[in-house]
C-alpha cells in the first residue's frame, strides 16, 4: 500500500522532530539558519525557567515539543543569578544549566537571550539593584561602570555554557544568543552615547566566541556582525537591515501580560495563526512565541507598572502547565502544515501573485518541480473566493490557506478544529503540615514574613512629599507606609446640601486604612479611585 504524498511527508516530518536536535555548526544565509549544512524553518517557544519550578520543566518542554515546536527560548535573569557583586546563584528555579540540559534531552534547540538587560516585565528589567549604587553608573549607554559589569556577566554566562558544552559548536542545543533587548526604541534618547553603546554591545558579544550567531532584537542600526530581528504582533513585512541575513521573529505575542485592574488580555488563536502563516509566507525562517508558557512571577520578581504575579500571558501552555485549547491545538496543526512546505520553501525563490484587491498568493517552486503556496485574504471583514491555478479556494476573512503541493489546502488559519478548554478551580481539603505543633489546626501551617520598611537609620521619619522607593528601601521591601491627617472643622461636618463630606483617594495598586477620630472606618486594597463617606 502506498502512502499519500502529504501523509508520507507528515510522517517523515514527525520522525525528524523526534530525533535528537544536536548540532555542531550553525551558520546562515539570506534565507534561513543553516544547521549542519541543512536550511531550517524553526518554530520556537519562550519558556522562562525562573517563572516555573524545576519539577515542571520536563513537562513544559515536552508539551511544547508535542505542539510542533523545534526550539525553546529563554532570557537569562541577571539579578537572579548575581544577587550581589561577584556572588553567583544557579540553584532552584535559577538552575539555568539544568533547564538547558532538559531541552537538550528532549531533542530540541535553544535560543539564549542573555541581554543582560531583558525588560520582560521582570523587576528592574533584570539588572541587579546593587548596580544602581555603583558610583558613576548610568544604565545602557556609553558608561564604563555599566559596561564593565555587563561584559563581566555576559562572559560568565557564555563561559558557563561552554564549560557544560551546551553551544551548538560543541554539540549542544544552543543555536543562537542575544545581546541587549529592544534597545532601538531608546537609543536616540541617549544621543551619541547610545549609538556607541549599541555598537560596543554587539562587538563585545561576538568577541565571546560562543560559536553561534548573535542576534539583537528591535535594533534598527545593528552592525553586520549580528542579525537584527523583529518583535511585534505581526512581522510579515519586516526586512533585515542586511540582505545577507535571515528573517527572524524573536517575539510574537500570543496574548499579553496582566496588570492589576485591567481587563484580561485576549488574542484569538485564529489571529495568532494568521500572523505566523503570513510571516513564513513572506520568507520568514525563525518564529518565536513570547510567551509559549508565561508562568508565574514568584516572590517579588514582578516588574513594570502594576504587573500581576501571574505571567500567564494567555499563552498556548497556561500558568499551570496545561495546554490551553483551542490555542495550543490550532497552532500545532499550523506548525504541521508549515513543516510540510519546509524543503520547497527553503530551496526556491518566492513569487507573489495578486488574486484581488486584498488577496494574494506567494508561491515557491524548486528545481525538481515541487511546489508550495500560501494564499492570503487580508480583508479583515469579508470572506472571499479566489481562483489560483484554475482552482477556486474559499478564504474566510483575515486568513491564510497553506497548500504544500500548490493544490490541496491542508490548513486555514481561521478554521479552528480544536474544542475550547476551561480550567475549573475546585476546593481542596487541606491537612495540617507534618510536624505541626498544633494538632487541632485544620489547615496548613502559615509562615510569617517580616519586611523592614526602611534601611536608612530610623524606620519612621517625617518628610513632606513622596520619597524615592529604591533609595529608601534599597529594594529590601515593596512597601512604604505613608501617614497623613486631614482635619475637618465643626462648620465643615455637613455640606450646604446636607450631605456628609467625601474623601476622594486617587491611586493605583495601593492599600489604604481610613480612620475617623482615631477609629478605623475602612480597609481597602484597590485599583483606580475610591470614595469614603465621612462617618461621625
Per the annotation, the verdict on 251 as an active-site residue is: yes
Burial 130-162 (b: 16+ CB within 10 A, else e): bbeeeeebebbbbbeebbebbbebbebbbebbb
Q: Radius of gyration over alpha carbons of the chain, in Å?
A: 27
The number of beta carbons lying within 10 Å of the beta carbon of residue 366 is 15
Considering only CA atoms, which of 243, 126, 128 is closest in space to residue 181?
126
- Cα of 424 vs its chain's centroid, Å: 25
**DSSP character at residue 33:** E
Q: Is 512 in a helix, a strand, or coil?
A: strand
φ, ψ for residue 197 (rounded to 5)? -65, -45
Could you tell me the CA-to-CA distances from 503 to 81, 493, 531, 533 in Å, in that order? 46, 12, 6, 7
Per the annotation, the verdict on 182 as an active-site residue is: yes
Q: Report the C-alpha gap between 347 and 370 in whole angstroms.
A: 10
| Contact indicator for 241, 263 with CB cutoff of 8 Å | no
Q: Report the C-alpha gap between 45 and 485 in whole angstroms.
A: 52
Q: Please list the residues that pair with 259 across neighbouring strands.
A: 307
φ, ψ for residue 338 (rounded to 5)? -65, -40
Q: Which of 82, 251, 270, 314 is catalytic?
A: 251
| Contact indicator for 289, 235 with CB cutoff of 8 Å | no
Q: Report the C-alpha gap between 358 and 369 in whole angstroms.
A: 28
Can you read off the three cell numbers belonging to residue 498? 446636607
Q: Is 174 in a helix, a strand, or coil?
A: strand
Could you tell me the CA-to-CA distances from 3 to 7, 83, 269 in Å, in that order? 6, 58, 31
Peptide bond into 47 cis (omega under 30): no
Can you read off the three cell numbers belonging to residue 471? 533609595
The number of beta carbons lying within 10 Å of the beta carbon of residue 434 is 6
**DSSP character at residue 314:** T
Give catalytic residues, as residue numbers. Answer: 182, 251
Amino acid at each position: 500500500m502506498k502512502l499519500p504524498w502529504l501523509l508520507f511527508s507528515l510522517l517523515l516530518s514527525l520522525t525528524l522532530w523526534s530525533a535528537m536536535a544536536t548540532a555542531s555548526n550553525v551558520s546562515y544565509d539570506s534565507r534561513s539558519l543553516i544547521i549542519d549544512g541543512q536550511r531550517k524553518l524553526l518554530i520556537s517557544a519562550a519558556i522562562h525557567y525562573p517563572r516555573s519550578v524545576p519539577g515542571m520543566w520536563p513537562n513544559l518542554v515536552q508539551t511544547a515539543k508535542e505542539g510542533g515546536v523545534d526550539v525553546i527560548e529563554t532570557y537569562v535573569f541577571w539579578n537572579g543569578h548575581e544577587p550581589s557583586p561577584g556572588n553567583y546563584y544557579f540553584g532552584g528555579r535559577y538552575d539555568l544549566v539544568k533547564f538547558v540540559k532538559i531541552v537538550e534531552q528532549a531533542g530540541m534547540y535553544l535560543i539564549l537571550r542573555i541581554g543582560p538587560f531583558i525588560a520582560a516585565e521582570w523587576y528592574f528589567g533584570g539588572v541587579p539593584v546593587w548596580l544602581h549604587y555603583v558610583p558613576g553608573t548610568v544604565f545602557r549607554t556609553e558608561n564604563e561602570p555599566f559596561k564593565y559589569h555587563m561584559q563581566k556577566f555576559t562572559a560568565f554566562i557564555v563561559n558557563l555554557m561552554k564549560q557544560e558544552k551546551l553551544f551548538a559548536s560543541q554539540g549542544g542545543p544552543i543555536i543562537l544568543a542575544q545581546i541587549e533587548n529592544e534597545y532601538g526604541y531608546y537609543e536616540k534618547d541617549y544621543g551619541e552615547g547610545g549609538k556607541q553603546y549599541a555598537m560596543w554591545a554587539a562587538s563585545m558579544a561576538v568577541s565571546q566566541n560562543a560559536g553561534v550567531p548573535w542576534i539583537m532584537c528591535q535594533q534598527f542600526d545593528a552592525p553586520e556582525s549580528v542579525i537584527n530581528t523583529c518583535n511585534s504582533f505581526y512581522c510579515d513585512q519586516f526586512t533585515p537591515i542586511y540582505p545577507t541575513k535571515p528573517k527572524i521573529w524573536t517575539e510574537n505575542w500570543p496574548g499579553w501580560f496582566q496588570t492589576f485592574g485591567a481587563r484580561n488580555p485576549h488574542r484569538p488563536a485564529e489571529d495568532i495563526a494568521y500572523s505566523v502563516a503570513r510571516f513564513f509566507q513572506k520568507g520568514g525562517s525563525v518564529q518565536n512565541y513570547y510567551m509559549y508558557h508565561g508562568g508565574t512571577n514568584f516572590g517579588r520578581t514582578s516588574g513594570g507598572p502594576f504587573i500581576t504575579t501571574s505571567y500567564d500571558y494567555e499563552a498556548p501552555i497556561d500558568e499551570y502547565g496545561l495546554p490551553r485549547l483551542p490555542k495550543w491545538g490550532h497552532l500545532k496543526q499550523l506548525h504541521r502544515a508549515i513543516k510540510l512546505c519546509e524543503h520547497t520553501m527553503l530551496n526556491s525563490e518566492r513569487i507573489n501573485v495578486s488574486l484581488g484587491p486584498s488577496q494574494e498568493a506567494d508561491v515557491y517552486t524548486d528545481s525538481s518541480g515541487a511546489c508550495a503556496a500560501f494564499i492570503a485574504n487580508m480583508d479583515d471583514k469579508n470572506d472571499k473566493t479566489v481562483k489560483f491555478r484554475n482552482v477556486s479556494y474559499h478564504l474566510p476573512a483575515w486568513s491564510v490557506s497553506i497548500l504544500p503541493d500548490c493544490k490541496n489546502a491542508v490548513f486555514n488559519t481561521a478554521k479552528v478544529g480544536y474544542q475550547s478548554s476551561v480550567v475549573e478551580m475546585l476546593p481542596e481539603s487541606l491537612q495540617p503540615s507534618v510536624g505541626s505543633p498544633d494538632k487541632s489546626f485544620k489547615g496548613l501551617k502559615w509562615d510569617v514574613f517580616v519586611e523592614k520598611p526602611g534601611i536608612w537609620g530610623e524606620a519612621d521619619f517625617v518628610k513632606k512629599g513622596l520619597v524615592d522607593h529604591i533609595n529608601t528601601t534599597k529594594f529590601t521591601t515593596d512597601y512604604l507606609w505613608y501617614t497623613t491627617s486631614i482635619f475637618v472643622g465643626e462648620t465643615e461636618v455637613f455640606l450646604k446640601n446636607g450631605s456628609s463630606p467625601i474623601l476622594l483617594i486617587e491611586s493605583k495598586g495601593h492599600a489604604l486604612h481610613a480612620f475617623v477620630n482615631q477609629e478605623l472606618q475602612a480597609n481597602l486594597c484597590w485599583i483606580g479611585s475610591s470614595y469614603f463617606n465621612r462617618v461621625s
